Structure 1
């Protein structure tokens, strides 16, 4: 049973202080990896070649998948961006971290993720890692809720949900490119600019372990390829999603640019001699939108709790440590924190401190006795709810109450609620109990 959230910070700090004293002042340790965490934005399950796409070329990401662990049952904790980012950094459900919906530029400019939650960046910083985030933050607009207040030594990027890929203006017409806590405009195509800063950070930290978080904007709208030009201006009139009519083509260009820049990160690690002790994680924050992208073969899309809204690509690569494999073990965004903590720590972190669980054994090929798929997990967004305990899934919306057997019906086409009423009641009760246990005040839409 997970301990109360109020005790999370104290327990993590106690561990981190002890660990930091033994590791922080030493050189990089080959047994504890550097971490490069790359997150795409609105990338669908079927948008990469290694997940079956035949129209979009992604050779660099495919190479990581072919040599590492590719997950087919990985899920974002949110069905939109801010909740997943909160879960990723805290190891908690988004609702436990207080971020159930999108932190919007209109409604939430004065709020952000609760600073009391101990983050992955804070943990790694306390363990002696240099930490940096370059790209999309989206967990608070004010500096007091920004990356530098949540464990990152360095931040260059944007704090809103999306920006023009060239002018870096957000969808409300605000300038949104920061260095630390100050606005600091820079020129460059967004995907390349994020990567440039990541490369500089890797090269600057030859003598220390590092955590590099690269939350990309791509392929989220506005749909602009690297050969396009700026469309948004401060307080100007513009089409939020971009003016290109061939959005599918622009989307392809954006993903292929993202892939190219993943390749640049890998090449830099190789040139700097850091590949053998670096864990690379690639994932998406939620499913693709209904307008562009593909979540095939799954039903639904971004903002929905059907599989297409949250089953997304995820790849783990660590040269010489993670063997080539494909796994259908259940893994969620909130599992990344405790997993990294296990890989970094001399002794495994007690995962009762988080709602996520460590899947380090899965990564390292020790799959005997794994129980990931036996747990019950939950999603909630606005008026939609879902609970999964393999192979069953309950989906509740204002218009329906559905039960699916994902083993036989992964596309969620056949409602079995009336055929298996006891299973429906059991999962529904689990969902109610989870909701009743939530105490965090929510930032919501």
Structure 2
């Protein structure tokens, strides 16, 4: 009798399970979080670049919501990624600059850190991370300790664009092929697995981080002979030849990501998952390519024929910064049934906002008594009448490798103040409305209105530093 009942139970499960999967899929969406490395907000066809080849990424931006004022709290890899996954500032987590594998091999996320990935996993999501981690090398800092069921990629920040060494099934292996292609091959395998659970896949490309080449021939072909337009060719003493060469290589790397994004979008369609999968595209920070005379991100480098001399804390050739091109990130959300084609979201959001936003998308409650710094921007995606949205933005960056700084920034839609509490001679104030390129520093202006704005923003910085218990606060208050 028991064997008959057992056989009936097996048949019952086989018959019922597909329907149960469908019901669950209808209630909780899949989430595909595409995350690039060093992706400039300007390096997309959708954002108007004359040479960018990004038709597939542009589809996400065009068919979903384009968040034109999306920023990162820190314009460099590790602290930005830490803020993304925890909704906390790097100064709270002890991660204020990129994690150096040789000088600080034990630094990373603390094991008791709560992440939105863990909360989604606890709520029934099958979770995976493919690609770059850069939040700790030790086993106690492994992605699977923070809510990911599956990991394939590399724990450190560095890798190569061809024949990379990756962690596969817990062991490092040298694989043949181009890194973006290898990562997406694995992402397609993950998405294609049969499961009763909805999936959340974080796909962290390393492109378009340097080294940019090699890429596939088809990705390099449009750029190899290109004489690209550059943003400010008349910048004094700009090394135009180098900027143009780097632009070609950078855009080719972006194209390699785009081609692979196209493969993923096609996979979702073929598996009939596109109607119930939220597709997110974003990056850890922005990028400069000759803008303001520099290239790179928040730990920028001058790209001049003759670099300014070194100072006490800033080596020759370095230009730490919090320009908009460094802190702004290209972001789009394609949420079937919610976002609209061609939707533009102008409200200011940042990477600390993903934690509550993703939980709300997945219909998972935010735990009580959990400290997070972000706000869900689901109302903006749903085009709700949000009249009191806060468009101010606070950010921080204490550099400690190529340079030593304690930069703290407060930005409104009209003004931006950057204080370097370690090097006060580097303070900057920009009127973004009249000077969006941030080319005229007004920090020493004698205009009474400008001085009033500067003092107001300074107090905003101090207030934010107090709220997160910033270890630099005492030094900042002494210098006020």
1:441 positional shift: 8.3
Q: Which residue of 2 aligns with 1:218?
A: 207
Query: 2-side partners of 1:260 and 1:81: how far apart?
Result: 23
1:154 maps onto 2:171 in alignment: no
Alignment of 1:121-132 (within 5 A): 121-132=117-128
Q: Which has the larger radius of gyration?
A: 2
Structure 2 residue 96 is matched with structure 1 residue 107: no
**What residue in structure 2 maps to residue 254 of structure 1?**
253
Alignment-derived partner of residue 452 in structure 2: 422
Equivalent residue number for residue 68 of structure 2: 72
Q: What is the CA-CA distance between 1:120 and the residue it aligns to? A: 1.6
Question: Which secondary structure state, in structure 1, belongs to the residue aligned with residue 361 of structure 2?
Answer: helix
* Alignment correspondent of 1:312: 329
Where 1:29 maps in the other structure, the secondary structure is helix
> How far does residue 115 in structure 1 lie from its aligned partner after superposition?
1.9
Report the CA distance shift for 1:298/1:124 in structure 2 as closer, same or farther (over 3 A): farther
The within-5 A match list for 1:255-404 is: 255-290=254-289, 301-303=297-299, 304-324=321-341, 325-345=343-363, 353-373=371-391, 375-382=392-399, 383=405, 384-397=407-420, 398=423, 399-404=425-430
Shift, 1:437, TM fit: 4.2
Q: Cα distance, 1:138 vs. partner?
A: 0.4
Supply the distance in 1 between the matched residues of 2:288 and 2:182 (Cα, whole angstroms): 25
Relative to the length of structure 1, the TM-score reads 0.81
Q: Tell me the matched-pair count.
A: 392
Listed as ranges, the matches of 1:42-121 within 5 Å are: 42-121=38-117
Greater relative contact order structure (CA < 8 Å, 6+ sep): 1
The 3-state SS of whatever aligns with 1:225 is coil
Structure 1 vs Structure 2 CA RMSD: 2.8
Per-residue CA deviation, residues 256-290 of structure 1 (Å, 9 max, x unaligned), is 11001111111111111111111111011112254
CA distance in 1, matches of 2:194, 2:455: 53
Deviations 1:330-355 (CA, angstroms, capped at 9, x unpaired): 01111111101112226677797310
Change in Cα spacing, 1:441 to 1:378, as seen in structure 2 (3 Å) is closer
The aligned counterpart of 1:20 is none
CA distance in 2, matches of 1:79, 1:422: 28
Q: Do 2:108 and 2:136's aligned partners in 1 also have CA atoms closer than 8 Å?
A: yes
Deviations 1:217-245 (A, max 9, x none): 101111223348xxxxxxxxxxxxxxxx9
Cα distance between partner residues in 1 of 2:370 and 2:46: 34
Q: Is 1:196 matched up with 2:185?
A: yes
* Closer/same/farther in 2, CA of residues 140 and 289 from structure 1, 3 Å limit: farther
Residues 132, 360 of structure 1: alpha-carbon distance in 2 compared, 3 angstrom cutoff? same
Q: Check the 8 A contact 2:292/2:439 in 1, yes or no.
A: no
Change (3 A) 1:387 1:299: farther
Could you say which residue in structure 2 is the equivalent of 1:5? none
Q: How far apart, in 1, do the equivalents of 2:275 and 2:388 lie?
A: 26
Deviations 1:123-174 (A, max 9, x none): 1101100000000000011222011111100000012222112232xxxxxx
- In 2, distance between residues paired with 1:421 and 1:300? 31
CA distance in 2, matches of 1:217, 1:283: 13
Give how far 1:96 is off. 2.0
Give, in whole Å, the separation in 1 of the partners of 2:458 and 2:296.
21
Whole-angstrom distance in 1 between the partners of 2:91 and 2:451: 28
Distance 2:287 2:53 in 1: 17
Return the alpha-carbon distance in structure 1 between the equivalents of residues 364 and 148 of structure 2: 23
**Partner SS, residue 49 of structure 1:** coil
Q: 1:98 to 1:27 in 2, by over 3 A?
A: farther
Which residue is equivalent to 1:182?
Answer: 171
Classify 1:150/1:62 alpha carbon distance in 2 versus 1 (closer, same or farther; 3 Å).
same
Deviates more, 1:193-202 or 1:417-426: 417-426
Q: Give the 3-state SS of the residue equivalent to 1:95 in structure 2.
A: helix
TM-score, normalisation: structure 2: 0.75
Q: 5+ residue gaps in structure 1?
A: 1-23, 169-175, 229-244
Distance 1:387 1:350, change over 3 A: farther
Give the C-alpha shift of residue 408 in structure 1: 3.2
